[in-house]
A and B are shown apart, each in its own frame.
Chain A
C-alpha cells in the first residue's frame, strides 16, 4: 500500500491533478439533482466513447475507397472474426447516441436549464446536437451501399438549390462532378477527423461549464430565475443543503450508462449490423433508397412539401430552426423554470414529438411512392372479376397492364400514391372517370396518349363495377333526364 501511495505521490507532484480531481468529485450539487432525470448527459457521453472505440476498431479494416468500401464492409460482416459485432455496436451506438442526445435536450429544455447563467452551455449543446446529427449522416455515407449513394444524390440536389453558389456547393460536396471516390474520401475525412474533432472540443466545453456553473437545480414552481439573485440562491442550495457529487449523484449516472451500454450490446447481438445494402453501382436502378431512422421524418417531409414551397423551406427551415434554438436562452433567460408553469414549452415539445413521430411513421410505409412491381405482383382480387362481362374483365387487364395498380390499391393491395379504388364508382360518374383517366390531374398523370379509345372504354367499364353490391354507382341525374332514359332515381 505504501508503495502505491509513493508512486501516486510521485505522479501527483508532477501532474498536480489530485486536488482538482478530488474537488470535482466532492463538489456539492443540489440534493434533488441526485435523480434519474439527470443521467442522460453522462449516458450520451458514454455512447460517444463507445463510438470512438468501435470507430477506431472499424477503421482497422474499412477501406475508404469507392471501389473497395462495400467489399471491406462485407469482409467485416463475414470474414473478420466478430467484425459483424463491432459494426453492429457502432451502428446501434449511433442510434442510441442520437436518441439520448435528443432526450437529454428535451429534459434540459423542460427543466429550464438553459436559463441564466447556463446560456452558453445550451448553445454549445445545440452545436453538439448538430455535430451528432452530422456524425449520423456522414456515417450513413461510409456504409457505402445503394442507400448511401442515392442519399448523397439527394444531399447534392438539396445543396444545388442554394441560390448563386448551389452548383459549386455540389462540386465541393462531391469532390468532383459525380458521386465517386473523391466523395467517399471526403466524407471519411469528415466522419473520422473533422466532425469528431469538433465533437470532442464541444463536449469538453460543455462539461467544463457544467462543472464551473454547477448542475441545474431541480425546478420548483414559483422559484423565479433573476440575474441579480440567482448566483446567491444557487450557492445556498448547493452549500447549505447540497450533497457531494460523488457518490450521491454519480451512482445513478454509472448505473444508467451501464444499462445503456448493455442495451446497445443486446441490440447489436440480436439485430446485428446495419447493411450494407446493395452494391453502390449507379447502373443498378432497381432500388428504392431510404435514409436511416433519424432522417426518415425528413424523407417524409420532402415527399409532402408542395413543389413551390420546397426549396425555401429546405434551405431556410434548418437555418431558422437553429437560430430559434440559439436565441432561446436570450429570449427566455430569466423567469420560471418548472415545466408545471410553462405550458407553451410543454406544448411545443408535444407538437414537435407528434410531428416527427408521425412523419417517421409515414416514412416507414412510404404511401407517396408508387409500388414499382404491384402491376405484375398484385393480382386483381377474384371477387372484382367474378361474374363480370368480357369488357369489364378486359378493363381489369388494362388496369394491370398500364400500371394503375402501382399507385392505386384494390382490397388493400397495391400502391397508396393515389386513392384506393375499391369504391371509386360511388365517387365518380362514368364521365368523370373518363375525364380523370384521360386528362389526369390531382397528382395523377394524364393517360390520354397512352390508352386507345377501346382501352379507355374497357378500363372505365371495369372501374364502374367497383362499388359495394348494395350501393348504386354515382350517376349523372341530369344527363339521364336529357337523354330521356326513364330510369327512376333510387330516392
Chain B
C-alpha cells in the first residue's frame, strides 16, 4: 500500500467523521429549534386565548366605563403580579358592552379613562380615544383593541389571554361590531 493511499483513506475517514457529526448535529438541532419556537408553536396549536369571567354584570353600571382586572389564563407560579391584566369595560346599555384592552394601539402603554371628558388618554406618546374606543388624536393608527365578550348567568365573560399588539390579525378581528358613542 502506498503512502498516498493511506493518506487518502484517512482523509476519507476524516470526512466521514465530519459527516457523522453533521448528521448528529441535525438530529440535535431539530429539538433545539422546536424548544426555542415553543411559544410560537403553542399559539398555533392550542391558542392562548380563552373565556374568562370579569364578574357579575352589576359591577358595570350602564353608561359608565370601569377598570376590570383578571388573572391571565396561561400563567406560571413565578409570574407574580405580571399575570394580572387590566381592561376597560364600557356598558353601553343593558346587554351591550365594549371591553377594551388596557394597551394603547400605538405602542402598548396603559391608557387611562377620563369620565369627565369621555376620553381615553395614553401617557406615553399622547394618543387619545373616544369613549367607544375609536381614535381621537395622536400617533395611534386605529382605535383601542377590543376583547370579544359574552354574558352567561349574569356574568360578563371575555375572550382574552394574549397581549394585543398592532400587527396581530386577531387584534384586528376582535373589534366586533362597531358601536356608536
State the A residues within 8 Å of B (CB).
Answer: 65-68, 149-150, 153-154, 156-162, 166-168, 170-172, 174-183, 279-283, 285-289, 299, 302-303, 305, 307-308, 310, 368-370, 372, 375, 401-404, 406, 417, 440, 443-447, 449-450
Contact = CB atoms under 8 A, between A and B. Distances in A.
A68 B130 CA distance: 37
B126 interface: yes
A176 B82 contact: no
B175 interface: no
Contact of A279 (B67, B81, B111, B114): B81
A446 B136 contact: yes
Given A182-B39, A402-B116, A160 B79 contact: no
A370 B80 contact: no
Interface stretch (B7-15, B23-31, B101-109, B147-155): B101-109
8 contacts: A154-B124, A160-B167, A161-B166, A174-B39, A180-B75, A368-B126, A403-B121, A445-B119
A281 B136 contact: no
Interface string B106-138: 111111101011110111111010100000111
Interface stretch (B53-61, B90-98, B157-165): B157-165
Contact of B82 (A167, A181, A446): A181
A180 B110 contact: no
Interface string B42-78: 0100001100000000000000000101001011111
A167 B80 contact: no
B20 interface: no
Q: How large is the interface on B (under 10, 10 to 19, 20 to 34, 35 or more residues)?
A: 35 or more
Contacts of B37: 172
A288 B163 contact: no
B136 A445 contact: yes
B83 to A, nearest CB: 6
B136 A440 contact: yes
A446 B121 CA distance: 14
Contact of B74 (A153, A157, A172, A177): A177
Contacts of B181: 449
A417 B137 CA distance: 11
B128 A157 contact: no
Contacts of B74: 176-178
B178 interface: no
Given A153-B107, A167-B169, A369-B125, A280 B81 contact: yes
Contacts of A154: 107-109, 124
Given A175-B39, A286-B112, A372-B121, A445 B81 contact: no
Given A170-B167, A176-B39, A443-B138, A67 B112 contact: no
Contacts of A447: 117
Given A67-B78, A170-B165, A449-B118, A288 B141 contact: no
A116 to B, nearest CB: 36
A434 B175 CA distance: 32
A150 B76 CA distance: 20
A377 B16 CA distance: 77
Interface SS of chain B: loop
B116 A180 contact: no
Interface SS of chain A: loop
Contact of B137 (A156, A171, A440): A440
Given A168-B40, A417-B126, A180 B165 contact: no
9 tightest CB-CB pairs across the interface, nearest first?
A67-B80, A160-B167, A160-B165, A153-B108, A166-B167, A445-B136, A177-B48, A177-B162, A281-B81
A182 B39 CA distance: 10
B143 interface: no
Contacts of A156: 108, 163, 165
Given A282-B84, A283-B85, A369 B124 contact: yes
B170 to A, nearest CB: 8
A450 B118 contact: yes
Given A403-B119, A445-B128, A307 B139 contact: yes
Nearest to B69: A283
A445 B137 contact: yes
B86 A450 contact: no
A171 B82 contact: no
B82 A289 contact: no
B123 A177 contact: no
Given A156-B163, A162-B167, A150 B39 contact: no
Contacts of B140: 307
A157 B166 contact: yes
Contact of A178 (B109, B111, B117, B163): B163
A303 B43 contact: no
B82 A180 contact: yes
B5 interface: no
A417 B125 CA distance: 10
Nearest to A442: B137
Nearest to A301: B125
B116 to A, nearest CB: 5
Contacts of B136: 440, 445-446
A403 B117 CA distance: 6
B78 A282 contact: no
Contacts of B36: 172
A370 B40 contact: no
